[in-house]
Chains A and B, each alone.
Chain A
């Protein structure tokens, strides 16, 4: 692949894509400052060949968030159409 080299760290050798240069975390004495580097593990997770689209790749939390968003937008759109229909009626109430 043009311009892409494997990650310098050897923890995850079988990945298709990699970063183009050394990771900032490869530098010494910074690993323990504010957490450790979980990017290689996440790269493995998101490159699993399970056929899932990227927005559902993490499983359950992704599905929950997706369904909540869908409920809100689709429900809201129906409510919106009802409200606009009512607002477009001549003022015959009360």
Chain B
């Protein structure tokens, strides 16, 4: 290996960025073909290639860091900035949907019966499953912090237990939400209420699934001894993302489930 006079990581040439771009093209045009021509071949190709690119790209990052040692403190700092910026962009993404909700609910139009919830809409009882879901996500925030402390203390067994519990709570949340979706008396087509409710909670649910997947990868890496007691940024990034998902839910619960009922 050549010796460099700086602490940054000059990566090997990689095909994943351009394949990832192609996968995005296939997915978006696949959506068009599915919407307008009722064929899903292109969409399936897009989603599959997206999955393959993500698997291999992130596999390579693990190889470069854990196995090749390229993640110096300088590189890690850059990754921290990157993750913070990404989460910030996601905050803005959700902000838009909250804006739409408050725009419609603070001044309900005559078409809705001049009230919120609109006439004829039976909202979910916020003290029922939604409250349980709130408790579940809050508990998972505690368990993921417990896992982090276990890692920094070098206690691998305890860390595995805590992280497994976190993932289990995430899956429990997803299952309960799916059940709730099935049980609602209103659908996404039921006025702006349905639109704001299902788009915001739906994207949140997707983020819970993404976060659970990220945590699962961390669990596998934890089991395989990839993390050390003071170098485990992949786990920290997953934990930050998970806390973000929790906080979004708290806002969703307070505004749409509680205030909005």
Contact = CB atoms under 8 A, between A and B. Distances in A.
Given A54-B63, A73-B49, A38 B72 contact: no
Nearest to B225: A37
A24 B154 contact: yes
Contact of B49 (A22, A24, A76): A76
B72 A2 contact: yes
Interface residues of A, number: 49
Contacts of B90: none
B67 A45 contact: yes
Contacts of B41: 79
Contact of B156 (A30, A46, A73): A30
Contacts of B25: 77, 80
Interface in B222-244: 223-231
Given A73-B23, A87-B37, A54 B72 contact: no
Contacts of B130: none
Interface string B23-64: 101100110110011000110011011001100100010011
Contacts of B119: none
Interface string A40-84: 001101110100011101000000011011101111110110011
Interface in B194-246: 223-231
Given A4-B72, A43-B67, A76 B60 contact: no
Contacts of B154: 22, 24, 27
Between B37, B41, B68, B160, the greatest number of chain A beta carbons within 10 A of the residue's beta carbon is seen for B68
A47 B1 CA distance: 9
7 contacts: A4-B72, A16-B69, A20-B231, A24-B156, A24-B229, A47-B1, A76-B26
Interface of A: 1-4, 15-25, 27, 30, 33-35, 37-39, 42-43, 45-47, 49, 53-55, 57, 65-66, 68-70, 72-77, 79-80, 83-84, 87
Given A3-B73, A55-B16, A73-B23, 19 more contacts: A1-B72, A22-B228, A24-B227, A24-B229, A34-B160, A39-B67, A46-B63, A47-B1, A47-B68, A47-B69, A53-B14, A55-B60, A70-B15, A75-B45, A76-B42, A76-B46, A79-B45, A83-B29, A84-B29
Interface of B: 1, 7, 11-16, 19, 22-23, 25-26, 29-30, 32-33, 36-37, 41-42, 45-46, 48-49, 52-53, 56, 60, 63-64, 66-70, 72-73, 151, 154-157, 160, 223-231
